[in-house]
A = this chain, B = another copy of it.
Amino acid sequence: MKIAFATGNKNKVLELKKILEKTNIQIIQKNIEIEEPRSESLQEIAITKANYAVNKLKMSVIVEDSGLFIDSLNNFPGTYSHWVYDKIGYIGIINLINKIKTRKATFKAVIVYLEPNKKPQIFTGEKQGTIALESKGVDGFGYDPIFIPKNETKTWAENPNSKNQSSHRQMAIKKFTNWATTNL
């Protein structure tokens, strides 16, 4: 069966295609313009976008969303992580919590799978960690240089293997692909 992945990010599509290549599920990229609703819930945003995409494409879709939620900043930047990154970068985040002791943060991801006239299926992933005292590492993108996963000492930008193996996104993708290979 064919599923549309509503995203502008080719790499995300290739990644998922590879995981599902020996199944009967075929992922195709649909780079459609979807208005991002204002909400503090990743899940709510992804469901709204999935409904929009299904109505537009008339086929089964998946939508993925993720964000960095920092405890001491009331979950800032959260669902606005991408926009905030464009404005103030990871250096902005370091400056914001410079004087704060609690540096706990959680990366969250959600994948919503939606078939026309069905209820959405929701798959979530989380990775707990802390915001580093200073940025370190050159790999990855976004907030990777300032995020240290729980029980580790290096940022994701220093240790991309850690991210590839156990990120919030990887967790959500695994849940989705496990479900999809059994149920679709």
A residues sitting closer than 8 Å to B (CB atoms) are 35-38, 73-77, 80, 83-84, 86-88, 92, 95-96, 98-99
Contacts and interface: CB of A to CB of B under 8 A. Distances in A.
B87 A74 contact: yes
Nearest first, the 10 closest Cβ-Cβ pairs linking A and B are A76-B87, A36-B38, A74-B87, A95-B95, A95-B96, A92-B96, A73-B88, A76-B88, A38-B38, A73-B87
A167 B98 CA distance: 32
Chain A interface SS verdict (over half): mixed
Contact of A37 (B38, B86, B95): B38
Copies of the protein in its oligomer: 2
The listed residue with most B CB atoms (<10 A of its CB), out of A76, A80, A83, A87, is: A87
A77 B84 CA distance: 9
Contacts of A35: 37-38
A96 B92 CA distance: 6
A184 B36 CA distance: 36
Nearest to A76: B87
Contacts of A84: 76
A84 B93 CA distance: 13
A75 B96 contact: no
The listed residue with most B CB atoms (<10 A of its CB), out of A36, A75, A83, A88, is: A88
B95 A73 contact: no
A112 B76 CA distance: 30
A86 B74 contact: yes
Nearest to A80: B80
A83 B80 contact: yes
